[in-house]
Structure 1
């Protein structure tokens, strides 16, 4: 017959190394079983995990995730620059290529300006140059096809280069057709008479002024301080070019007879005159306010109180009305023809 023995769980948790007597019906004896260390560790780990509430665990995880997001937003993303190889044999015969660092937001115009400054060609007009991209298109079982693309001034070569495998795209510096332009710039230096520059037909007046300032090493003067004038020496007239005009297109409209007495002159703009407010002669002059001395009977009044004039006496008012009536009766006696 089996005997039921009740063992509390507190005794198991308090001392797991002590033998625990479990009932077993074998010749009326009770065998003792001892728990191993592995069982002790498993019980302890289960009890320790059960002591944590799921709400605390989720809140700690969410707070750590939020802190990671905040730290990622506060850290600025680094600007990665990649090398861009530009073949620039059109600048000089001894120049094969030049490698420039550029990021994905660097435009074609910025690369051309940086390339001219590297070779110390500040007298060259950046509008004379443009970039082309040579791309090889590979097809299975066919010879690679080469295509050439003309890039705009606001295109990003580094971003275009990342869209193609390495070695399958190249950039070439090309040159547009331009014209020789003579500009008299004695306003910059007294010893200088004129400068002859090779510019593009797309170059505006402001860009021409900036190019002249760069050639003369004038860096502290803004472009708005100077203007280009079209001067006619025969007639003694001059016309100021608009900042968005194209000076090379202006000179191309000159006739053969006008070539001898027409020229472009650079002038410094006069300093703006400060505006002075003009006084109107008919403006009434403000009359000084009289301040009456306070009487001992009445307290002193503030200066903002308006004093009313006393009423005229009755005899003066009656005489004024009689004069007005006489004048009106005389006016009615006139006859108009």
Structure 2
């Protein structure tokens, strides 16, 4: 009986030793599998995050250096260098130049860009002048011009250059006492394509005002017939002025929109009262 018990205990001992070994092996294998899976999960998350960042922030196009001859704005400065993008239009270039020269009160519709190109096809340099419209892109035009022809030209003039030109305009007198009581009127040189809204913006630039043009209106007033008319924001003041039978009997008056001002005041008061009730 004792011998049988001794034999059974000895036979069970190896199984007791092997069982933990098997458990430890299976546990370690499980841990190793979990760590590799976690690593792959982290790597997939990081890759997806980086891909989302690439989608949310697309690469910006490279900037292009553009040299523009601006004697029409300042006789003492031959040219101005701008750093623009390939999508920048001619109209945006004109506005940037006016801002550089601190001439926000000047009408941008009076100015336009021309591109002067020199080519040699018959042995003699040939000059070609192109007038750029408002939606033209000077950076793309400069990139499309072949550079190989620059080596063939013996003169020191550039192969192509951009020049700022000025159109003819007309003087418009605007009585602007609503902006400053001491001021009687402003005379501005504007283009025949300048609208009433753009003209109001120019008057506001003269006073460095940050108010919006839609808060004001321009009125055509006849001093002899006792009549006045509110102009539409898209009307052209120069064309209206040309249609006057006697320019001495008509004037332009700038006025602030009382209805819009009252609505804005009521909106601000309602917002302040709402904030007060929420705070209380």
Q: Do they fold alike, i.e. is TM over 0.5?
A: yes
* SS of alignment partner, residue 271 of structure 1: helix
| Local SS of the residue matching 2:258 | coil
Specify the SS of the correspondent of 1:254: coil
Query: Matches of 1:200 and 1:120 in 2, distance apart?
Result: 19
**Greater RCO, CA 8 A, separation 6+:** 2
RMSD: 2.2
The corresponding residue for 1:147 is 128
Find 1:185's aligned residue among 157, 176, 181.
Answer: 176
Q: Which has the larger helix fraction?
A: 2
Aligned match of 1:131: 113
Structure 1 residue 165: Cα displacement: 3.7
> Within 1, Cα distance between the matches of 2:168 and 2:248?
24
- The equivalent residue for 2:249 is 261
Against the structure 1 CA distance between its residues 114 and 75, is the aligned structure 2 distance closer, same or farther, given a 3 Å change threshold? closer
Q: Distance in 2 between matches of 1:241 and 1:73?
A: 47
Aligned equivalents of 2:51 and 2:172: distance in 1?
58
1:74 is displaced (CA, Å) by 5.4
What is the TM-score normalised by the length of structure 2? 0.68
Other-structure match for 2:237: 247
Q: Out of 271, 276, 292, which is 2:259 matched to? A: 271
| Among 71, 75, 79, the residue aligned to 1:89 | 71
TM-score by length of 1: 0.57
Aligned to 1:162: 143
Question: Shift of residue 75 of structure 1?
Answer: 5.0
Q: Output aligned runs, 1:187-336, within 5 Å.
A: 187-219=178-210, 221-255=211-245, 258-272=246-260
SS in 1 for 2:205: helix
Task: Give 1:176's match in structure 2, choosing from 143, 146, 167.
Answer: 167
2:72 is the counterpart of 1:121: no
Cα offset for 1:168? 2.1
Q: Which consecutive residues of structure 1, in runs of 5 or more, have no partner in the other structure?
A: 1-62, 275-337
1:109 paired with 2:109, answer no
Query: How has the CA–CA distance of structure 1 residues 243 and 74 changed in structure 2, closer, same or farther, with 3 Å as cutoff?
Result: closer
**Higher radius of gyration, 1 or 2:** 1
- The 3-state SS of whatever aligns with 1:90 is coil
In the alignment, structure 2 segments of 5+ residues that lack a partner are 1-43, 148-157, 264-280
Superposed displacement of residue 160, structure 1: 1.0
1:180-234 residue CA offsets vs partner (Å, 9 max, x unmatched):
1110000111111100011111100000000001111111x11111111110111
CA distance in 2, matches of 1:163, 1:270: 53
1:247-306 per-position Cα deviation (integer Å, ceiling 9, x unaligned) = 011111112xx22221000011122477xxxxxxxxxxxxxxxxxxxxxxxxxxxxxxxx
